[in-house]
Amino acid sequence: MSGTVTEVDIVIVGCGAAGIATSIFAAQRRPGKSIMLLDGAEKIGAKILMSGGGRCNVANRNASASDYHGGSSIFIRHVLQAFPVDKTIRFFRDAGADLHEESDGKLFPATNQSRTVLNALVRRMNDIGIRLCPRHRVVEVIRKGGGFQIKTSAGIIAAPRIVLATGGMSYPQTGSDGSGYRIARSLGHGLIPPVPALVPLVLEGTRHRQLAGISQEIVLTLKRDGRGAAQFRGPMLWTHFGISGPAVLNMSGIWHRTKLGDSTARLQANFLPDDDFTSAELRLLNLASTHGRPSLQSVLSQFLPARVSRVLLQQMELDGQGCTSHLSRADRRRLLHSLLECELPVSGSRGYAEAEVTAGGVPLDEINPTTMESRICSGLHFAGEILDVDGRIGGFNFQWAWSSAWVAASAL
Ligand SMILES: Cc1cc2nc3c(=O)[nH]c(=O)nc-3n(C[C@H](O)[C@H](O)[C@H](O)COP(=O)(O)OP(=O)(O)OC[C@H]3O[C@@H](n4cnc5c(N)ncnc54)[C@H](O)[C@@H]3O)c2cc1C
pLDDT in tens, 63-92: 999 999 999 999 999 999 999 999 999 999
Q: Output the CA 177–ligand 1 centroid distance in Å.
A: 10
By CB atoms closer than 10 A (0-12, 13-18, 19+), residue 278 is: exposed
In 262-370, which residue ranges form alpha helices assigned H by DSSP? 277-288, 296-300, 306-315, 329-340
In the DSSP assignment, the letter for residue 105 is: G
Whether 2 shows a pLDDT value over 70: the answer reads no
CB atoms closer than 10 angstroms to residue 20: 29
The confidence score (pLDDT) of residue 261 equals 86
Alpha-carbon Rg for the chain, nearest whole angstrom, is: 25
Whether 291 shows a pLDDT value over 80: the answer reads no
What are 219's strand-pairing partners?
Answer: 233, 270
pTM summary value = 0.96
pLDDT tens for residues 178-237? Answer: 999 999 999 999 999 999 999 999 999 988 999 999 999 999 999 998 888 899 999 999
- Across residues 34-52, what is the average pLDDT? 96
Atom 41 in ligand 1: residue holding the nearest Cα: 138
Atom 52 in ligand 1: residue holding the nearest Cα: 356
The confidence score (pLDDT) of residue 293 equals 83
Confidence of residue 262 (pLDDT cuts 50, 70, 90): confident
Average predicted confidence (pLDDT) for the chain: 95
Angle at 370 between CA 89 and CA 183, to 5 degrees: 95
The confidence score (pLDDT) of residue 278 equals 95
Angle at 312 between CA 310 and CA 316, to 5 degrees: 115
Q: For the chain, how many residues are written?
A: 412
In the DSSP assignment, the letter for residue 53 is: G
**Where in the chain do CATH 3.50.50.60 domains reside?**
5-196+356-410
Cα–chain-centroid distance for residue 11? 26
* Share above pLDDT 70 across residues of the chain, in percent, rounded to a whole number: 100
With a Cβ cut-off of 6 Å, ligand 1 is lined by 13-19, 38-41, 47, 50-52, 56-57, 137-138, 165-167, 170-171, 175-176, 179-180, 356-357, 384-385, 395-398, 401
pLDDT tens for residues 375-408? Answer: 999 999 999 999 999 999 999 999 999 999 999 9
The confidence score (pLDDT) of residue 27 equals 96
Helix (H, G, I), strand (E, B) or coil at 11: strand
The confidence score (pLDDT) of residue 11 equals 98
CATH of 5-196+356-410, one of 2.40.50.140, 3.40.1280.10, 3.40.50.300, 3.50.50.60: 3.50.50.60
